[in-house]
Amino acid sequence: MPFLPCLLCGAKLEKRMDKNHKPYFVCNPCGIQLFIRREHGIGLLDKLLRNAEKNEIPFKQRAEEVYQIQALLTEINGVKQQIERLQSQITFLFRDEDKVRACNLLKTKLANLFKELEQLAK
């Protein structure tokens, strides 16, 4: 469906046709009406809408990858902090085996997160 974003609120405005078969757009919440009356503008609009349709899907996919990478980086940071906290609590004099085990598990998790990140970065 061809659309333009509303220049005030960003809502998707569907292309409509008036009784003279000229394209126009309406944003009801904003009360904006955008009419394209001349051939020059109609030609530019068609070109823009064709490109927008072609570009929209790759853009969405890329945006999703960026979100995934950001989420992974946040998780990696969190796991690193947990490991550091545990390591600071483990001393040679008072060695808590549960904390050592938890620390090792977290290191495995960290390695897996990096593997996941590597896959995404490819």
Residues that bind Zn ion (CB under 5 A): 6, 8-9, 11, 27, 30
CB of 32 to Zn ion, least distance (A): 6
Phi-psi region of 10 (alpha: psi -120 to 50; beta: other; left: phi over 0): left
User: Distance (Å, rounded) from C-alpha 102 to C-alpha 82?
Assistant: 10
- Would you call 119 helix, strand, or coil by DSSP? helix
CB of 42 to Zn ion, least distance (A): 22
Closer to Zn ion by CB, 7 or 44: give it: 7
User: Distance (Å, rounded) from C-alpha 6 to C-alpha 30?
Assistant: 8
Closer to Zn ion by CB, 11 or 102: give it: 11
CB of 38 to Zn ion, least distance (A): 24
Closer to Zn ion by CB, 36 or 79: give it: 36
